[in-house]
Amino acid sequence: MRLLRGLAVFLVGLVGTIILLDFYISQTMLDEVGRTLVEWVTILAALALVLGLINLLRVHGARVAAGRSGWPYSLALLGAVIVTLVIGLGPGSGGANDPALNWIFTYIYAPLNAGVFSLLAFFVASAAYRALRLRSAEGAGLLIAGVIVLLGQIPLGGQLSPALPDARDWLLGVVGAAGARGIIIAAALGAVLTGLRVLFGIDRHYLDKDQ
Amino acid sequence: MSLPRCPRCGTANRVGSLYCNACGERLDAEVSITTCPNCGVNVPAYSLYCHRCGAKLPQAAPIVNPPPPITEGAAGEGEPPAESDVISLDQMAQPVLGAEEAAPAPFAEAAPAALLPETIPGEPAPEATPLLPPAVSLQPAPETPVTPFLRVRPPLGPPAEPVTVPRQGRGGETWRLLLYLALAGAIVVGVLFPRGLSDTTGVVSPDVRALYDAVEALPPGATVVLSFDYEPSTVDEMQPLASAITRHLVQKRAHILAMSLLPQGPALAQTVLEQAARAGSYQYGPDYVNLGFLAGDEAALATLGGNLASAFSSDFVRGQDVSSFAAVQAMPRIGRADLIIDIAAGDVTVRRWVEQVQSRQKVRLAAATSAMATPMTFPYVQSGQLVGLAGGLPAAAQYEQLLGYEGPATRGMTAQSLGHLVLLLAILIANLWLIASPRRSAR
């Protein structure tokens, strides 16, 4: 088992190192090998979609079979998946651009998806209503910035004062961008550390059975 | 099977993991927990400010290192800690008695568990674990035992007195209902009467202007790659932006190669492309092609450095070999594109395009994002990696203004304006109430 685990760590480290070197070094053979390995990733990513679908069917199918709480919703989900799959993959289907599939996407999926996401407007409004309060100096700063951005985003703000859109641009482009840079750099450093942990098998060991 | 949760951020991790995938904390670390004296939520003791209400916390305690291994014969070391020193997951997860109902984190509540992909084969899918405060996220399943490496200890020093915070009461619920009704009413009125507050004359952001100029500078016959990386959930904000940019490209007689990193993208792209094609007498094949969905995110973008035909086997509309289209023959490799425009709802996709394509192929890249993602995308404009940036519905309205027509974005500005005004009014009322009530402001 240890030998297999060591082999797994070695393979992962080797492949990761090749792709990393390919990013920085321009060399024909390295480019070819790196590109091939990355193309395998896209194939695996497509396969992951299939695995996700299989897992979805398995989990919700088990819920329906066992009659657990929420099984009618699982049954509805399974029905929708099967109908869509049959329309998209069945005989005579036009594939991804099939008219029936497009109808489902345009008149069922898209409006539902947009409707659920539109609920965010109310949650954001409630959060802003609670957060933008004059409780402290920092709160006052947040309040002023929030008001400037809210007014600067709409045409009315520009009509009230040309300074409002400029102030909004300054807040987002200077103050906000400075914070964003810090977050991006920190996230990148975190990604490097996480990547090194994965490459060297420091985190979850490969091939370990679940406990 | 119980999934180990991070003691710091509460994210569920795979069994056997040593570090949290979200924040990097060791999963066996012992994190002292204290309560915020203002809102009563549980917070790590090393925090300086409450992550929920922002109040300054009294004293930050360092992270307690894992206890040394128990050795035989050492007096007292082999004894388990006193029960009172250990806080179980149940105790850590429960908010303080009387604490007001937690305000929903906007993006967390909008992602019900059913919409999250269950991509760990062979394991039950973890619960939806957005980055909520520990008081909400660490609710264990009834049958989940407290595992040893999640044992937490009370904060160093005297234990904090439980803070009794009065419940919000029906008054707060009434205000929230009024706010929701006012917001909904304002948006409905704005949609029904779109001409009220939609005048955007004279207000154009420099970054939107830069994107417009980048497209305007294209010679006739230039090849442009449009990546439609948004889902139907953001279609009302992104579609007007995509339509305006596509319309401009058709005016410039540019060849358009559309693609998407999302499965839903190609269908949305086709709607936009067909609409623009009808207006500009464009033909599918010679003038524009929908290459379809490319799976793999960063890895997929990395493969775009090679031949496009190897990345896309067939197009989305006709299902035929992409190399047979004149528009693809004019640009076999993405490095030869005159301009790439990523129309993405999130900043992560834009970052991927910058890292995998712009930095390696040295192509001109621009972005059109949602208003939410724009702040995180500004650094790439300032560094020169993006030649232009348009963010949100206001930017789409400004782009329409530059093109000289009144489209859906311009008409939508009335609804957006009224919504903002309702929100500003609510904030004003709340702060006036706070100022006028000394007892409330003292809390």
pLDDT digits (tens, 9 = 90+) for B73-119: 444 444 444 433 333 334 443 433 333 333 333 333 333 333 333 33
Higher pLDDT, B49 or B336: B336
How many Å lie between the alpha carbon of A122 and the closest alpha carbon of chain B?
Answer: 6
Query: pLDDT-based confidence at B207, cuts 50/70/90?
Result: very high
For B345, the token pair is: 């709802």
Determine contact: A146 vs chain B, CB below 8 A.
yes
pLDDT of residue B96: 37
**Total residues found in chain B within this entry:** 443
Lowest-confidence region among B173-177, B380-384, B396-400 = B173-177
* Displacement of CA A121 from its chain's centroid (Å): 20
Distance between CA atoms of residues B269 and B276, nearest Å: 11
Query: pLDDT-based confidence at B380, cuts 50/70/90?
Result: very high
Q: What percent of chain B has pLDDT over 70?
A: 70
Determine contact: B121 vs chain A, CB below 8 A.
yes
Higher pLDDT, B199 or A5: A5
pLDDT of residue B188: 93
Distance between CA atoms of residues B289 and B309, nearest Å: 13
Q: Tell me if A123 and B119 make a contact (CB, 8 A cut-off).
A: no
pLDDT of residue B86: 36
Mean pLDDT estimate for chain B: 76
**Burial, B195: exposed, middle or buried (Cβ in 10 Å; 0-12, 13-18, 19+)?**
exposed
Write the CB contacts of B73 (distance below 8 Å, at least 6 apart in sequence). none
Distances (CA, A) of B305 to A88, A140, A149, B335, B442: 31, 49, 39, 7, 60
Distance between CA atoms of residues B405 and B414, nearest Å: 16
In chain A, residues with a C-beta closer than 8 Å to the C-beta of B235 are 110, 114
- Whether residue B142 is predicted with pLDDT greater than 50 in this model: the reply is no
Lowest-confidence region among B168-177, B220-229, B344-353 = B168-177
Q: What is the mean pLDDT of residues B188-198?
A: 83
Q: Which of A23, A45, A119 sits opposite B296 (nearest CB)?
A: A45
**What number of other Cβ atoms are within 10 A of residue A200's Cβ?**
12
Q: Are A193 and B21 in contact (CB under 8 A)?
A: no
Q: Tell me if B119 and A48 make a contact (CB, 8 A cut-off).
A: yes
pLDDT of residue A65: 95
Q: Which of A35, A38, A155 sits opposite B203 (nearest CB)?
A: A155
Give pLDDT < 70 ranges for chain A: 204-211
Q: What percent of chain B has pLDDT over 90?
A: 39
pTM reported for the whole predicted model = 0.75
Q: What is the DSSP string of chain A?
A: -HHHHHHHHHHHHHHHHHHHHHHH---HHHHHHHHHHHHHHHHHHHHHHHHHHHHHHHHHHHHHHHT-TTHHHHHHHHHHHHHHHHHHHSTT--GGG-HHHHHHIIIIIHHHHHHHHHTHHHHHHHHHHHHS--SSHHHHHHHHHHHHHHHHTSHHHHHH-THHHHHHHHIIIIIIHHHHHHHHHHHHHHHHHHHHHHHTT-SSPTTPPP-
Q: Tell me if B232 and A176 make a contact (CB, 8 A cut-off).
A: no
Q: In chain B, which among 343-382 make CB contacts under 8 A with chain A? A: 351, 360, 371, 374-379, 382
pLDDT of residue B1: 56
**Burial, B386: exposed, middle or buried (Cβ in 10 Å; 0-12, 13-18, 19+)?**
buried
